[in-house]
Every structure is written in C-alpha cells, then in structure tokens.
Structure 1
Amino acid sequence: MPRGKATAATNKTATAQSNVKKNISQHKDEVNSQIKLQGQEIEPEEDISYAQNKSPSLDLSKFKYEKKPHIKIEYEKESPVKQVIRYQHLISLMLSSQTKDQVTFAAMERLRERGLTIDNVLSMSDDELGKLIYPVGFWKTKVKYIKKTTQTLKEQYNGDIPDSVEKLCKLTGVGPKMAHICMSVAWNKVTGIGVDTHVHRISNRIGWVKKPTATPEDTRKALEAWLPFELWGEVNHLLVGFGQTICLPIGPNCEECLNNDICPSRGIKSPKKTTPMKVKEEIDPLDVKKKKL
C-alpha cells in the first residue's frame, strides 16, 4: 500500500478518536453542571467512568437517600413532674365537689405552697391537712379520702394516677364525673362527658334528655347516646359556668338568658328553699320590770 494513503488513514483514525474524546469530555461537563444545579458536589479527583463508543454512566450510589430510624420519645409518662401535675389535677377535682370554685382555688394554693406531692401529703397529719383544705365542703371526709387515695397511688401506681376511668373510679372519693374530667385534664383523653349538678340540672331543663333523669350518671348516658363525640369535651365547662351565673338552681335568671325563646323551662320558677321560722321567746313581764329597775 502506498505510504501516502497509509498516512491519510492514520490521520483519519486519530481525528475520529480525538472527536470521541472531545464529545465525552463535553458530555461530562454537561452532567457535572446538571448535578451542581441540583445542589450536589463532585470532587475534582473523582472521575466518571465512560466506556468508549457507549453511553456514559454515572454512579449515583453516594446520593442514595437512607431513611434514619424513628426515635420514640417517652419522657412524658415517666417524668416525675408530669406525675405530680396529674396528681394535683386529681386532688383539685376531689376538693371541688360541693365547693365553690374560689374556695377550691384557695385550698389548692395553700396545698401547693406546702408542697402538694404524694410523699408530702402522706407525711401530714389529718389535722394539718384539714387546716389546709378548710373550708371546702365536707372537708373532714375529704381529708380521709385524700389520705387513702394518696396511699393507694403510692402503693399500686408508683406515684402516678390511673390512666382509665375504671381504675380511677376504684379510688376512694372518686366518681364517674371526676374520672371523666380527670382523664381529659390529666391525660388529655376524652372518655366521656363530665356531668355534675349543673350539667345534670340544665340538661333536664332545656330538654337535652328524652326523659327526665334522676342522677348525673343517668344524664351522662342519655347525653352520650346522641351528642357527637367531638363535643363531649366541651359540655362540662360550658354548662357549669352557665349554671353558676344564669341557669341557677333556685330563681334562674330567665330574663337574662339568651335561650329563653327556645327553652321549654323558661318562666318556670324553682321552688325556693324555706327555712323554719324562729320561735319567739316569751317575755316575762316581771323580768322587764326587773330590768327597768
């Protein structure tokens, strides 16, 4: 073969290889720029392997997303501070029965100042605890209830309060109303409607129960039978304030009530309590004369 033709073929081969390398280099630059736009960095010393006359391939293994294990935090239930707060919620509810809110609040302030914890309450004498909670309603009975319930919490619940209505109702001095309210305020769980004397009275007056109910527990069951679950947690605090200011047990202020046009009990006056008349003492005329003398 003539020398000139061999040289021309060699030059063509060299030119073709140069063009391939040039195309590969350009493609690498394009890929790198695309990755940088996506926020990824490629180290200068790293190289991307390309096969000659084949489509380039990029190793994306280092960009693979690895899901991190879920971390579960359980400090709330085990926190001693949370346990003390739950215990104080329970004690406040026990004191509130048959007691005005301001009296309950004052008693709780005195207890907190003394140190309202399970160990502190158990170390108090009945006399000291009674002076701290006086004058809440039935304070002598509540002293016994608080002491017994506190001892049960220490022995059976490791210083915490039960986390169910059934267990709460087994504590001395705790009924269904307290249990449902305690579940809401202490455990942030709605388990039922807290029906006290105000909710019981108003529900019967405005016809929220199909038939008149005799006890708060009967009222609770009647309300839960038709009231939507998402409203259960609102009933107590709405009706209690209403019952303390407007829909009073005796002499309700129907003229001030915004529901007087739809309330079936409007204008019906509750019987007022009658107190026995004091018998006047007979005065001896002789005693009068003696005093004048």
Structure 2
Amino acid sequence: MCAAVSAGGGRAAARRTASIPRRSRRRKSVAIAYESGQGDGGEQGASEPQRPRWEPRDWRQQLERIREMRRSRDAPVDEMGVEKCYDSSAPLQVMRYQVLLSLMLSSQTKDQVTSAAMLRLRQHGLTVDSILQMDDATLGQIIYPVGFWRNKVKYIKQTTAILKEKYGGDIPRTVEELVQLPGVGPKMAYLAMNIAWDSVSGIAVDTHVHRITNRLKWVKKETRYPEETRVALEDWLPRDLWREINWLLVGFGQQTCLPVNPRCNECLNQDICPAAKRR
C-alpha cells in the first residue's frame, strides 16, 4: 500500500517555495475562484442592498448526515486515494511530482489500480529524471492496467519534460499553469493545489461529486459536466467547506450513492434526498 500523508510540516515548507514562471502555450480556459470581500464583510456600495444568497434546501442537514455515514473513513479513497500514493519521506519537490503523477493516473481508474501502479513506479524510483530516462514501453508495462494507459504514457512523458525544462523539475503552483500541462484537467489541478501546495483554489469535482450534488439538488439547475458543477457549487458553498467536499462525497459515492443502483435504503438522507423520493 502507498505511504500515508505526513503532517502539515512539509506542506508549510512547500508554500515558501519561490514563485514559478507562467506558461502560455496551449492554454485552457478555466474559471478560477479567488478570495473576495463580497459576502464576508468586505467593502460594498453602501446604497446597494445585499441580495439573499441562494442555498439548496436541507443542504446543511444532508451534509451532516453524509459526514456521519463517512465517519469510519473506510472507502477506497480513504485507503488508496491520491493522498496515500506518494512518498511522504521524499524531498518536497519529488513529493509534489508524485502527487501530480498519481492524479494523472487516477483519471478513469479505480483507486485500487492507481495505488498499485504508483507503488510499482516508486519501486523503480519515481522522480522527474527517472521517468525521463525510462522508455515508453517500460513505463506502459509499469502503469498498466490504469485506464487509457497508452495515452497516459504519452502525457506523463510530455508533462515531465515540461516540468524539467520550465519548472526546474517542480510542478506549477497555480491552477492556470497546471491545466496547461498535457493530461492535466481542472479536477487534477485543484487537487494538486490542495495536496501538493496546501492551497484551496477551488472545489475538485469528479464524477462522484458531479453525480451526488446533482442528485441532492445542490445546483440551481442540472449540470451536464463536472466543470459546470464546480462553478455552480462555488457560487454558494461556504469556502471553508471546499477542501472537505471532494473527499467526503467521493467516499460516499463509492460506498452508498453509487452511479447505478444507489443504496438509498442505507442512506441517512433518504427522507430528504430529492433523487431518493423519485425511486
């Protein structure tokens, strides 16, 4: 099993790392949330009345019940998720690189498979230089059977070369730069910021978070894509919950609120879940 996450000391040191230059090639458009004075006591026009913020019905009660169901922390994400897949004793720069690679491998892949692939990579010495020196066939054999492993071999090699050339072997420390890397999407970028840089820049929305928040009606209107869901959630969900929500809902989606045949009879929210009422 991959090593557990160390205490916050390493992350605190990581935040003192110098700023990293920005990339401009192959830009992807990602709306990034920033701290704002609005809604939290910041300056506003004295004559402008404050509009009531939209909130989903029963969301606080639903959240507390999901926390209760997740109290045991025994879902696959808890035992083999990205936060368990890097070497916490490695130098900070190597640790951050391993976080990014584990996120790239995790796309369309179960946590168990990602965890096993990361362990095999670490046994070969998982650093920027070791990956650049490894031929594509060997890398493919190591990470197989992660989802879309052939494409991931290509993306890992391309991204690693960029990190070596442009970032001195480290990873970018902004969402805007991270999503410009081959094979890195918004969800990965927000999780990388959270885990590698200890910075909450936005809500990481994967298929579980997307599915569950739509079922609970935590969005004003149904969303089709995870990025739409992220924007909708960040519009109302208190910022102090942004870090927790991914971990909480991913595990809930793995164990109870399944994609097909959700276990509504085992869910504490059965009486206040809009989706459960239609079943």
TM-score (norm 2): 0.68
Query: Any conservation in 2 of the 1:206–1:263 contact (CA below 8 Å)?
Result: yes
Structure 2: segments with no counterpart, 5+ residues: 1-12, 19-89
1:149 aligned partner: 159
Shift of 1:75: 10
Taking a change above 3 Å as real, the CA distance of residues 75 and 95 of structure 1, as seen in their structure-2 partners, is: closer
Secondary structure of the corresponding residue to residue 126 of structure 2: coil
C-alpha separation in 2, matches of 1:124 and 1:151: 12
Secondary structure of the corresponding residue to residue 190 of structure 2: helix
Taking a change above 3 Å as real, the CA distance of residues 75 and 234 of structure 1, as seen in their structure-2 partners, is: closer
Shift of 1:77: 2.9
2:181 aligned partner: 171
C-alpha separation in 1, matches of 2:14 and 2:172: 17
C-alpha separation in 1, matches of 2:231 and 2:157: 31
Taking a change above 3 Å as real, the CA distance of residues 74 and 143 of structure 1, as seen in their structure-2 partners, is: closer
Query: Any conservation in 1 of the 2:117–2:146 contact (CA below 8 Å)?
Result: yes
Query: Any conservation in 1 of the 2:15–2:198 contact (CA below 8 Å)?
Result: no
> Pick from 90, 102, 106: which aligns with 1:92?
102
C-alpha separation in 2, matches of 1:240 and 1:224: 17
Secondary structure of the corresponding residue to residue 127 of structure 1: helix
Shift of 1:267: 5.1
Shift of 1:74: 8.6
C-alpha separation in 2, matches of 1:151 and 1:103: 25
Residue type at the aligned position of 2:271? D
Residue type at the aligned position of 1:101? D
Q: 1:213-244, CA deviations, whole angstroms, 9 ceiling, x for partnerless residues?
A: 01000000000000001100001000000001
C-alpha separation in 1, matches of 2:214 and 2:225: 11
Query: Any conservation in 2 of the 1:76–1:82 contact (CA below 8 Å)?
Result: no
Shift of 1:118: 0.4
Query: Any conservation in 2 of the 1:193–1:220 contact (CA below 8 Å)?
Result: yes
2:209 aligned partner: 199
2:263 aligned partner: 253
C-alpha separation in 1, matches of 2:277 and 2:255: 17
* Identity between Structure 1 and Structure 2 (%): 63
Name whichever structure is richer in helix by fraction.
1
Secondary structure of the corresponding residue to residue 77 of structure 1: coil
Query: Any conservation in 2 of the 1:204–1:212 contact (CA below 8 Å)?
Result: yes
Aligned pairs (5 A) from 1:177-192: 177-192=187-202
Q: Which has the bigger relative contact order, CA under 8 A and spacing at least 6?
A: 2
Higher-Rg structure is 1
Aligned pairs (5 A) from 1:50-89: 77=17, 81-89=91-99
Aligned residue pairs total: 196
Residue type at the aligned position of 2:17? K
Residue type at the aligned position of 2:216? I
Taking a change above 3 Å as real, the CA distance of residues 96 and 268 of structure 1, as seen in their structure-2 partners, is: farther
Are 1:219 and 2:229 counterparts? yes
Say what the alpha-carbon RMSD is for the aligned residues: 1.6
Shift of 1:76: 6.0
Taking a change above 3 Å as real, the CA distance of residues 161 and 257 of structure 1, as seen in their structure-2 partners, is: same
Taking a change above 3 Å as real, the CA distance of residues 250 and 165 of structure 1, as seen in their structure-2 partners, is: same
C-alpha separation in 1, matches of 2:147 and 2:266: 30
C-alpha separation in 2, matches of 1:235 and 1:150: 30
